[in-house]
Amino acid sequence: WAIHAPYVAAINTLKKERNAVILAHNYMTPEIYHGIADVVGDSLQLAVEATQVEGDVIVQCGVHFMAETSKILNSSKTVLIPDMAAGCSLAESITAEGIAEMRAKYPGAPVVTYVNTTAEVKAASDICCTSSNAAQIVRAMDSETVIMTPDKYLAQNVARQVPEKRIVWWDGSCIVHEQYTARDLHEFREWNPGTRIIAHPECPPDVVDAADFSGSTGGIIDYVTREQPEKAMLVTECSMASNIADALPGVDFVGPCNMCPYMKKITLEKVLWSLHTMQGAVEVDPAIADRARVAVQRMIDLSA
C-alpha cells in the first residue's frame, strides 16, 4: 500500500477539483477498488449508478464497453476511460452485422444482447442483459425463440434456467472464464474437501454444474458475504477474492484464478493521468446512443 499512497492521495485530490466520480468494476485491483473508487459493483450496478451521477466527470475504472454504457445513460457528462485499449473478448466478437445475420436466420426472434458489447451492437438489439438479470430478461421476452448474443456460455447457462424458451446464440466467449474446465473443479474439490466453489455464468455449463453457486460478480460477493464458508474458490477474475478478503477474515480464498488482461490495463498511474489531462473521453454517436439507450434502459426497467 505504501507505494500506492501518493497516487491514491493525488487522485482523490484531483477528483474533487474536477468534480469527478470514479465508478469501478469488481475486477479492478484492490488499490483502485479500495483506494479511489466512489462506487464499486458489477455491470448492472455500475450502469444504474451511472444514471445517477451528478458530478461533471465519470472516470470508468473498467473496460471500454462500460464507459460507453455510462456515456449512453448520462450523455451530458464527460466519461473518461484511463486506457482506450481496455477492451473485452466478448465485445470484440460481434458487430451490428452479426446481429443482422442472427435476425435473418431467426426471423421475428428478439435479440437479447449482453452489455459486454459496443454501442453499435446494443443499438441493433432489442434489449440488453447482464449476468445478474439474463434469465429474468429472457423469460420476459414475448417469443418462444430468443437470440442471445454474444456469449454462448451465458446463453447456454440461461437456456437451462429457462427451459420453456428456445435460445439460440452467437459464438462468443470470455477469455477469462472459458479457460476453466469442470475437471479442474472436480480435482480441486477432491484435494480440498469442504471448499465452496462459486463460478461466474460466463464459464461453460459443465463448469457451472461443478460449482455450488453461480452468479454475477455482485451476486458472488453477496453469496460469500451471506454464507461465509470456511474455504471458497471464486471461479472468476483474480481481483474478486483480493477485493473482498479483508472484509471476510473468516473465509479462506483458495484455488487458482485467471486475470483479465483488459481489466488490468487500468492502473492508478493511468487514472491520475486521465484526470490530470482529461484525455480518454469516450464519445458515442448521438443517433447510435439514442438507440442503444432504449435497449439498456429496457433492461434496467425490467430488472427494477
> How far apart, in whole angstroms, are the C-alpha atoms of residue 167 and residue 7?
47
Partner whose binding site includes residue 173, from ligand SF4, ligand 13P, none (CB under 5 to 8 Å by kind): none
Cell of 36: 479511489
Site string for ligand 13P, 163-192 (x = CB under 6 A): -----------x------------------
Q: Does 214 bind ligand 13P (CB under 6 A)?
A: no
Least distance from ligand 13P to the Cβ atom of residue 191, Å:
27
Q: Does 157 bind ligand 13P (CB under 6 A)?
A: no
Nearer to ligand 13P by Cβ, of 236 and 274: the residue is 236
Q: Which of 233, 239, 136 is nearest to 186 (CA)?
A: 233
Question: What letter would DSSP give residue 151?
Answer: B
Q: Which of 300, 149, 154, 258 is nearest to 215 (CA)?
A: 154
Own/partner pairs, 187-196, CB within 8 angstroms, 24+ separation: 188/233, 188/255, 192/231, 192/233, 192/254, 192/255, 194/230, 194/231, 195/229, 195/231, 195/232, 195/233, 195/254, 195/255, 196/224, 196/227, 196/229, 196/231, 196/232, 196/233
Cell of 71: 456515456
Least distance from ligand 13P to the Cβ atom of residue 177, Å:
7
Count Cβ atoms within 10 A of the Cβ of residue 202 and give its class: 0-12 exposed, 13-18 middle, 19 or more buried: buried
Residue 128 annotated as binding?
Answer: no
Q: What are phi and psi of 3, to 5 degrees?
A: -70, -25
> How far apart, in whole angstroms, are the C-alpha atoms of residue 229 and residue 114?
30
Q: Across the beta sheet with 195-199, what order do the strands follow? A: 213-214, 195-199, 231-235, 252-253
Q: Does 60 bind ligand 13P (CB under 6 A)?
A: no
Stretch of residues binding ligand SF4 (CB under 6 A), selected from 125-133, 158-166, 168-176, 220-228: 168-176
Residue 115 annotated as binding?
Answer: yes
Residue 274 annotated as binding?
Answer: no
Residue from the set 31, 42, 120, 126 that interacts with ligand 13P by CB under 6 A: 42
Residues 198-217 that bind ligand SF4 (CB under 6 A): 202
Least distance from ligand 13P to the Cβ atom of residue 290, Å:
24
Q: What are phi and psi of 52, to 5 degrees?
A: -100, 0
Q: Does 133 bind ligand 13P (CB under 6 A)?
A: no
Stretch of residues binding ligand SF4 (CB under 6 A), selected from 77-85, 169-177, 246-254, 278-286: 169-177
Residue from the set 176, 210, 232, 238 that interacts with ligand SF4 by CB under 6 A: 176
Q: Does 84 bind ligand SF4 (CB under 6 A)?
A: no
> How far apart, in whole angstroms, are the C-alpha atoms of residue 14 and residue 32?
15
Q: Does 262 bind ligand SF4 (CB under 6 A)?
A: yes
Nearer to ligand SF4 by Cβ, of 175 and 302: the residue is 175
Least distance from ligand 13P to the Cβ atom of residue 156, Å:
16
Footprint on this chain of ligand SF4 (rule: CB under 6 A): 63, 88-90, 116, 174-176, 202, 237, 260, 262-263
Footprint on this chain of ligand 13P (rule: CB under 6 A): 26, 42-44, 88, 116, 130-132, 174, 202, 216-217
